[in-house]
Amino acid sequence: MAPDSRIPVSSVGLSFSGDWRRASEIFTETLDPLCSTRVSVPEDETEARADISSFFMGPGVFFSGHVSGTSYEFVREASRIARTGLDLILIEVVLEGGEIRTIDGKTSRSERGDVCVIDLARPTRTQTAHNIFLTLAIPRQLLFAQESQMDGLHGMLLKSDSAAGRLIGSHFLSVYRVLPDLTQSDAPAIVQATADLVAQLVSGKPENVGDTSVALRGALIVQIKDHIDKHLSSHELGPEYLSKTFGLSRASLYRLFEPIGGVTEYIRSRRLRWAFDALADGRKRTIGEIAYSCGFTDVSVFSRAFRNRFGISPSEARGANGGLPAGVYFPPHAEAASVHEWLRIVSAF
């Protein structure tokens, strides 16, 4: 797709009048990558409504949504976290209505104008009967470079009367208004600017200071991730190698990476991201050479994994960027891709 093309959009608008069960199934399937969804039988089906629009912005996915007319419950449980492997942060602005959210046994209420931050690598339960919202999903490293800075983010609530809440809410509304005319070449900069704004406004919050054990765990994950990125070409890189290098039992290593889909999946994800960047860098190397340099020993295994991750083959990826900024990726047929595929692409950044 050309860089001056409009960003891809996917919209699902449901009315629960008529075949309520089928409408509920469609809505549940739409949100399946993010959470399991339960929709209560509405007392008045003509009043029930669920609309969600998704905008693929390269390194982020922007959502606008409206749910009302009945009770909704959204649960991101440990099994779904492990299955989907989405390593993303959600930043939500409530425009109207509100939610009740439970995290680690603690319940909070978000209302009109409030901003909530959710870490998709950790469980959460949300309930609402009426909520109009704007949400941005971005890779965690786009928000903060250090894992330890993430510890206090999950469930952070910025109230509407706070300066941070007002600034983020106003910015999200501005982004939403330009989305219909936004091009692929402009979208990544807006995502980065939004991430920078949020990072600056939440980094000094008391809620973002974890206890010592959490901070130490975060620091260790940062060290291991940095080591992985520096040794992606090594065919020895794996759980056993990392356990020996960092003096951890394999069980401890697995527990550290469990919230983001496991250590093996994380290594594979980073290798594939590195391979994608290598394919787009313009250097004349064979796909086999790139695969081997990224730690893969079998080209066919690499090609299958690459297609599963990005939705296209390595050879198709060579010309996929078409002048877009380095490190940003829009699939050549992004309009036909599912929202789940968009989220997987963003998670791989």
Closest to 234 (Cα-Cα) out of 312, 297, 302: 297
pLDDT for 229 beyond 70: yes
What proportion of the chain, given as a percentage, has pLDDT over 90?
38
Question: What is the rounded distance in angstroms from the CA atom of residue 332 to the CA atom of residue 271?
Answer: 21
Other C-beta atoms closer than 10 Å to the C-beta of 77 total 13
How many Cα atoms occupy the beta-carbon half-sphere of 10 within 13 Å? 19
43, 77 Cβ separation under 8 angstroms: no
Residue with tokens 């620091």: 219
First to last CA, the chain: 19
Domains of the chain: 9-208 (2.60.120.10), 212-279+281-318 (1.10.10.60)
Nearest Cα residue to 109 out of 129, 90, 89, 123: 129
Q: Say whether pLDDT at 28 is over 70.
A: yes
Residue 322: what pLDDT? 45
Q: Which has more pLDDT, 109 or 1?
A: 109
Give the per-residue pLDDT at 295: 92
pTM: 0.71
The mean pLDDT of the chain is: 82
Q: What is the pLDDT of residues 259-275, one digit of tens each?
A: 667 889 889 888 988 88
Q: Average pLDDT of 221-228? A: 83
> What average pLDDT score do residues 63-78 get?
91
| CA–CA gap between residue 326 and residue 161 (Å, rounded) | 39
Q: What is the pLDDT of residue 334?
A: 56
Report d(CA 245, CA 231) in Å as an integer.
12
CB atoms within 10 A of CB 137: 25
Q: CA of 188: how far to CAs of 172, 269, 339, in Å?
A: 15, 21, 17
Closest C-alpha to 52, from 134, 168, 169, 175: 134
Report pLDDT for 177. Answer: 96
Average pLDDT value for residue range 31-35: 84
Question: Which pLDDT does position 5 carry in this prediction?
Answer: 85
